[in-house]
Amino acid sequence: MNLKHIGIFWGKVVKGKKRGKSLGFPTANVKLHRDIADGIYISLATIDKHQYPALTFIGAAKTFREKDVKAETHLLSFRENIYGKRISVRLLVKIRGNQNFKSAKMLVLQMKRDKQIAEEYFKTTKYV
């Protein structure tokens, strides 16, 4: 089954600031070469011909006063080192916009809610 998507990007996974890992949400960072609306997306990542349910952040990390727009994808239930590998990410559903949180703790609470939304989505949606 091919899920409809609202955007797609791909590239080599590069090292970031490792902030996601320190917050409990490690991410695959990819440099964007096209404009995609800021926000948090339920997504589907493909690495080495295998697909993984994921959450993707597009934008500048407002909570940390960053200016550079980036793409960070957190693969749900995945803990392998993929630096240097090629990844393709299909954005399926936008669940919220980019927000500025008063603290990293408040951001993590929201990220946990976002992850729950994504997990529920994938429980009821088939992907291949």
Q: What is the pLDDT of residues 39-97, one digit of tens each?
A: 999 999 999 999 999 999 999 988 888 888 899 999 998 888 899 999 999 999 999 99
Every domain of the chain and the residues it spans: 7-124
Architecture of domain 7-124: Beta Barrel (2.40)
User: Would you list the DSSP string of 106-125?
Assistant: HHHHHHHHHHHHHHHHHHHS
What tens digit of pLDDT does each residue of 110-127 get? 999 999 999 999 999 876
For tokens 């994938």, what's the residue? 122
What is the pTM assigned to this prediction?
0.89
CA–CA–CA angle 62, 65, 67 (5° rounding) = 85
